[in-house]
Amino acid sequence: MRTAAVLCALLVAVSAAGCGAGSTDSSKGFSGEKRTVAKAVENFEQASRDGNEKRICTELLSGTLLAALKKQGTNCTTAVKEALKDTDSFDLKVKGVTISGPRASVKVESGSSSDKKTDTLTLEREGSTWKISSLGAAG
């Protein structure tokens, strides 16, 4: 899948909740490094909710993902801004975190009631920070 399409799918997963959905910090259900990973997803959710494409691109997406976007000639800030443009509400609930060395797999649930969807995000550790690198297959 092309990287720009992955970025759009990632943002669509975040935006799947209906208007007026409330945000809760699902990272509180984890401890240690798993909580740090879950908090990175929560930070992405909050930046998306705030329409802060600059923060998403400079702090929350991995260098690997940003390099792939650049290689395709896609500007991250513009791509994120377009993906967020028509979104009214954001809600992700971290359901599970698996860490394997410098990579983490995070199951997230979006949407509400009958519209719930489960996706898997991949994060990479860059120094001491976890950053989103891809959206995996729906589960």
Nearest-angstrom CA–CA distance, 126 and 123: 9
Share of the chain above pLDDT 70, in %: 75
pTM as predicted: 0.81
Pairwise pLDDT comparison (101 vs 25), residue with the higher score: 101
Instruction: Give 66's strand partners.
Output: none
Given pLDDT bands bounded at 50, 70 and 90, which one contains residue 106? very high
pLDDT of residue 49: 85
Contact between 61 and 132 under an 8 Å Cβ cutoff? The reply is: yes
| pLDDT digits 0-9 by tens, 59-74 | 999 999 888 888 888 8
